[in-house]
Amino acid sequence: MSGLDNIKPIHNWFSKKLDTHPIVISGPCSAESEEQLVSTAKALNDTEQVQIFRAGVWKPRTRPNSFEGRGLDALQWLNTVKQETGLLTMVEVASPKHVEMCLRHNVDILWIGARTTSNPFSVQELASALQGMNMPVMVKNPINPDINLWIGALERIHKAGISKLAAIHRGFYPFEKTILRNIPKWEIPIELKSRFHNLPIICDPSHIAGSRKYIHEMAQKAMDLNMDGLMIESHICPDEALSDADQQLTPEDLNELLRGLVCRLHVVGDEEIDQLVKYRSQIDSVDAQLIELLAQRMNIVEEIGEYKKEKNMTILQLQRWEKVRERGVDLAKSLGLSEKFTTQLLRMIHKEAILRQNEVMNRK
């Protein structure tokens, strides 16, 4: 059934327990110098809120001639960070060579970036390089909102024997210009979690936001959706960063942001559960009525289909459909439902009605 059935809870990945909620991964977009890495890491460590230090060592850039990372040197600097702060380290890998170098330099966690996840050939190469290592790996979502591509990448890594596995939600490429850098499409990580309950999901609000302004809002949303952790970029001097300057926070701003997050409880006490049970039974009853009404409507639609067949009328009746939509939206608005939601719902119902009548028409 599930291709991800042997996943270790993230809190037990290391001998030192990661027992904070959320787990916070932070550090610069790119490792630029030893000084920058060590000073950022020390300031992050002082906040006592960060457990994992991230840094891009090889940067996949959209256009050539952009800063592409410091490679091997940066891996050595990360070791200094580890020694001086005790933070765990995390690096993006895109090729078997990267994996090999990270293993040799004691990197604690690897992540696979969105561009790499989009390509099953590359993911498979990484999986083969990781075979039997049981190295912790986090897989970012692919650039496009294709949940199966994301699951496929997670499965390939899992099949290589990796049980310390997590997903990172960093949003999806917007084809149109949007306020946020990436479209969050929260329904996709929600669907992933509902298919694989034991898979930890980390949110990367920096890449969703693309600008410091929206990071808090995105991080709060991730907490409200009960995600396990946050990956937020930080830099000792963001304005001087060689990549993604707009979306990196100073360690102090990160600290403030994290302290301002409201982390609601997932599991509550008996009293709250009693109240929830009451609300939920109301919802169950309303849902049952909704479904019964929809079934009734479809029966009438089929009768109309029979009638149209007898009278040789077309299935689609645009004027009537327009009226149905207008009446529905007016009523919905007066009851506090949005026009967008109501239109989408009625469109789905109309589409099903057309299919049903099509079946009736073609019935021998």
Ligand X SMILES: C=C(O[C@@H]1C=C(C(=O)O)C=C[C@H]1O)C(=O)O
Residues that bind ligand X (CB under 6 A): 301, 304, 316-317, 320-321, 324, 350, 353, 357
Q: How far is the CB of 344 from ligand X (least distance, A)?
A: 14
Q: How far is the CB of 95 from ligand X (least distance, A)?
A: 54
First to last CA, the chain: 40
Q: How far is the CB of 164 from ligand X (least distance, A)?
A: 51
Residue closer to ligand X by CB (options 50, 353) is 353
Which candidate, 127, 109, 139, places its Cα nearest to that of 27? 109
Residue closer to ligand X by CB (options 280, 351) is 351
**Residue 291 neighbours by CB under 8 Å, 6+ apart:** none
Residue closer to ligand X by CB (options 221, 297) is 297
Query: 93 exposed, middle or buried (CB, 10 Å; 0-12, 13-18, 19+)?
Result: buried
| Distance (Å, whole) CA 181 – CA 183 | 7
Strand segments, DSSP code E, in the chain are: 23-27, 52-54, 88-92, 109-112, 137-140, 165-169, 201-203, 229-233
Q: How far is the CB of 352 from ligand X (least distance, A)?
A: 8
**Residue 10 neighbours by CB under 8 Å, 6+ apart:** 18, 23, 164, 166, 200, 228, 229
Q: Nearest residue to ligand X, using CB?
A: 353
| Distance (Å, whole) CA 299 – CA 354 | 12
Neighbours of 178 (CB within 10 A): 11
Q: How far is the CB of 306 from ligand X (least distance, A)?
A: 11
Residue closer to ligand X by CB (options 164, 356) is 356
Residue closer to ligand X by CB (options 146, 302) is 302
Q: How far is the CB of 302 from ligand X (least distance, A)?
A: 9
| Distance (Å, whole) CA 327 – CA 323 | 6
Q: How far is the CB of 364 from ligand X (least distance, A)?
A: 21
Residue closer to ligand X by CB (options 97, 320) is 320
Residues 172 and 131: beta-carbon distance below 8 Å: no
Residue closer to ligand X by CB (options 46, 303) is 303
| Residue labelled with tokens 């991230």 | 54
Q: CA 51, 52, 54 angle in degrees (round to 5)?
A: 150
Residue closer to ligand X by CB (options 277, 348) is 348
C-alpha torsion angle, residues 206, 211, 217, 219 (rounded to 10) = 10
Q: How far is the CB of 358 from ligand X (least distance, A)?
A: 10
